[in-house]
Amino acid sequence: MLLNKLIGLFSNDLSIDLGTANTLVIAKGHGIIINEPSVVAVKMEKFGQQRVLAVGHEAKEMVGKTPGNIRAIRPMRDGVIADFDMTEKMIRKFIEKAHGRSALISPRIIICVPYGLTQVERKAVRESALSAGAREVFLIEEPMAAAIGAGVDIREPQGNLVVDIGGGTTEIGVVSLGGLVLSKSIRTAGDKIDKAIIDYVKRKYNLLIGDRTAEEIKIEIGTALPLEKRLTKVATGRDQVEGMLSTIELTSDDAYEAMKEPLKEIAEALRDVLEKMPPDLAGDIVDHGIILTGGGALIRQLDKFLADIIRIPVFVADEPLLAVAKGTGRALEEIDLLQELFENE
Ligand SMILES: Nc1ncnc2c1ncn2[C@@H]1O[C@H](COP(=O)(O)OP(=O)(O)OP(=O)(O)O)[C@@H](O)[C@H]1O
């Protein structure tokens, strides 16, 4: 223990929130040092080789705009690792960026992974961090990190229900006494909402819009309930009938219609978890309410929409996009105390 502490003084321990949409890296004592999209841009070379050109912001800028031999890849999709090789390369690049060559001793790294990852995927994540120079790697699951980040004392004998709506997955977790008592992960989250917007605009206006435009519509005018003061946004796409570029004005009523189905799926998953709740913890949840984290928590009126359905108060965490990263960061500060919570074979 003492030796560990001594070593800790000389190494830059890191924690990584490996999200399907965004990756955040926290350095012990320095807070968030990287907050970038989980995107890798690769160049196709001879003999099918792929060379990584950029990761993060720089790579996301290339999405949908890349020439034939450059591809922008989101290696983690729907809360699973869609491309092992690229996920490894992305983790390596982010660690190199964060760690540099400054520290005397290689870091311990806590990585927060989606709850639904298989053992094989977990192993791949762990090994990429080890091969990028980690001394030791610990994995923590998203609902647990989200709860810590939302300010929950996970070691208390009291149930807390956290709903983390990210890019690829919505993870619902009931946390008590340092463990996940109950959890559910569904692949309905930000990406699927974007897709529902694309489908709606295609169906109603015969206009084909891209992923980025759909995400902007969701963020700028998206809502879970009709708004009193309507919002509008101009969107450009390709007219499906004439094949020409065309522009339309969408309203928040359009966004509400488009997003209705996926949001209903999230509410149903939540209801499912509540139905399975051990009775002793149910009282805690009714008393304390439900906490929303993740980027999806920022959808207008989502707290009210969910509270109306489940009849329990729903709260949005402070800075919901940062909750998981803050949770992994806090775990990093207390790494010696919380080690038993982490997976470290
Ligand atoms: N203001 C906003 N309103 C609605 N959605 C938003 C807003 N800001 C970000 N998002 C969405 O939140 C999602 C990203 O959230 P977050 O960073 O929590 O996910 P992640 O942790 O990378 O993904 P996952 O939890 O699936 O691994 C994206 O789909 C993004 O479009």
The pLDDT, as a whole number, for residue 331 is: 87
CA distances from 276 to 35, 174, 247, 273 (A): 36, 11, 47, 5
The pLDDT, as a whole number, for residue 132 is: 80
Q: State the amino acid at position 277 in one-letter form.
A: M
The pLDDT, as a whole number, for residue 98 is: 83
Q: What is the pLDDT along the chain (345 residues), one digit of tens a residue?
A: 555 554 454 557 899 998 888 999 998 888 899 999 999 998 888 777 888 889 999 998 876 676 777 888 888 877 678 888 888 889 888 888 887 645 456 888 999 988 778 888 888 889 888 888 888 899 998 899 999 999 888 878 888 999 999 998 999 999 888 788 899 989 999 999 999 999 999 999 999 999 999 999 999 999 999 999 999 999 999 998 888 999 999 999 999 999 999 999 999 999 999 999 988 889 999 998 999 999 999 999 999 999 999 999 999 999 999 999 999 988 888 776 666 666 554
The pLDDT, as a whole number, for residue 80 is: 75
CA–CA dist 16, 26 (Å, integer): 6
CA of 298 to the centre of ligand 1 (A): 8
Is 169 annotated as a binding-site member? yes
Q: Which domains does the chain have, with CATH numbers?
A: 2-36+80-145+324-341 (3.30.420.40), 39-73 (no CATH), 158-188+263-320 (3.30.420.40), 190-258 (3.90.640.10)
For ligand 1, residues with CB inside 6 Å are: 19-22, 79, 114, 142, 164, 166-169, 189-191, 215, 218-219, 222, 294-296, 298-299, 321, 324
Give every CB contact of residue 120 below 8 A, 6+ residues apart in sequence. none
The pLDDT, as a whole number, for residue 6 is: 47
Helices 252-276, 302-310: crossing angle, 10 deg rounding: 40
Answer yes or no: are the C-beta atoms of 40 and 52 closer than 8 Å.
yes
Mutate to test the pocket of ligand 1, among 164, 169, 213, 321 (most ligand atoms within 8 A of CB): 321
Tell me the H-state helices in the chain: 2-10, 57-61, 84-99, 119-131, 142-149, 190-205, 211-221, 252-276, 279-288, 302-310, 323-333, 335-338
The pLDDT, as a whole number, for residue 102 is: 52
Is 296 annotated as a binding-site member? yes
Is 22 annotated as a binding-site member? yes
Specify the pairing of strand 136-141 against strand 160-165. Answer: unpaired
Answer yes or no: are the C-beta atoms of 273 and 172 closer than 8 Å.
yes
Answer yes or no: are the C-beta atoms of 140 and 342 closer than 8 Å.
yes
Straight-line distance from the first to the last Cα atom of the chain, in angstroms, rounded to the nearest whole number: 18
CA of 330 to the centre of ligand 1 (A): 21
CA–CA dist 335, 278 (Å, integer): 30
CA of 165 to the centre of ligand 1 (A): 7
CA of 161 to the centre of ligand 1 (A): 19
**pLDDT tens digit string along 37-73?**
999 998 888 777 888 889 999 998 876 676 777 888 8
State the DSSP code for 107. P
Is 289 annotated as a binding-site member? no
- Residue labelled with tokens 């989980």: 38
Q: DSSP letters along 68-106, please? A: TTEEEE-SEETTEES-HHHHHHHHHHHHHHHHTTT-SBP
Q: Provide φ and ψ at 19, rounded to 5°.
A: -95, 160
From the alpha carbon of 190, which atom of ligand 1 is closest? 29
Is 298 annotated as a binding-site member? yes
Give every CB contact of residue 173 below 8 A, 6+ residues apart in sequence. 115, 141, 142, 143, 144, 146, 147, 161, 162, 164, 180, 182, 183
CA distances from 249 to 31, 102, 220, 221, 245 (A): 40, 51, 13, 11, 14
From the alpha carbon of 114, which atom of ligand 1 is closest? 27
CA of 24 to the centre of ligand 1 (A): 12
Is 216 annotated as a binding-site member? yes
Give every CB contact of residue 146 below 8 A, 6+ residues apart in sequence. 162, 164, 171, 173, 291, 293, 294, 317, 323, 324, 327
The pLDDT, as a whole number, for residue 7 is: 47
- 171, β-bridge pairs: 164, 185
